[in-house]
Structure 1
Amino acid sequence: MDKLVVWIGRSPLIAVMVVGLATPVGILIGQNAPDPGAPVLVLSAPWDSAERVAKSASGRLILPGRISSIGLVHSPEPEFLVALKEAGAWLILNARLSGAFCASK
């Protein structure tokens, strides 16, 4: 019974933690698909670099991320998003999220 009281007493804290963790995930899932020709935010493998992935997909790095596997990339090629995936991009997002992941100069 004592364990139940402790669990109920921590319920608000658990609820805050769940909302705090779920909100960023919901934002990422709720994004519209990137527009062809628009800059995109790329996340590649930790041992890879966003610049290499962009160059392999006939694109260029616009803004480096705080770590090398994240970056804002662009290409006017219509199939750039497919090429990024084939070059090793793990995640491709609208550029609107770039401020949260990229370094400013």
Structure 2
Amino acid sequence: MTDQQIIAVVDKAIDEFRGELNDLESAVGMLMIGRHYGWRVILLIHSPVTVRKYSRILGLKNLREALPEVGVLAHRSNAWRLLDDGKNFWKVVRGQIAGVRSTKAETPPR
């Protein structure tokens, strides 16, 4: 999606939202972070249930269509770096491989 399309998704979600504002705020945050980190990192830091909930709030049928697969900042995600050890991405997302999920991001070394 382009930046204009993402803003349109956010504006529509805000206009139509009924419920807890912290859920709306988190959904918008997920989308904005996902623009830079990609949908694979989003799936590593949120449970599938949470991703579905936030996608529903945003009116997105498929998060993968809205975000890049791997964003330009994915390398800063600890969870993404842990996957580089040859772990199966989908097994990690489903919780079949422990010790990979992390919400921490690091600044790259200089």
Give yes or no for TM over 0.5: no
TM-score class normalised by the smaller sequence? under 0.3
The alignment's TM-score, normalised by the length of structure 1, stands at: 0.26
Q: Higher strand fraction: Structure 1 or Structure 2?
A: 1
The structure with the larger Rg is 1
The alignment's TM-score, normalised by the length of structure 2, stands at: 0.26
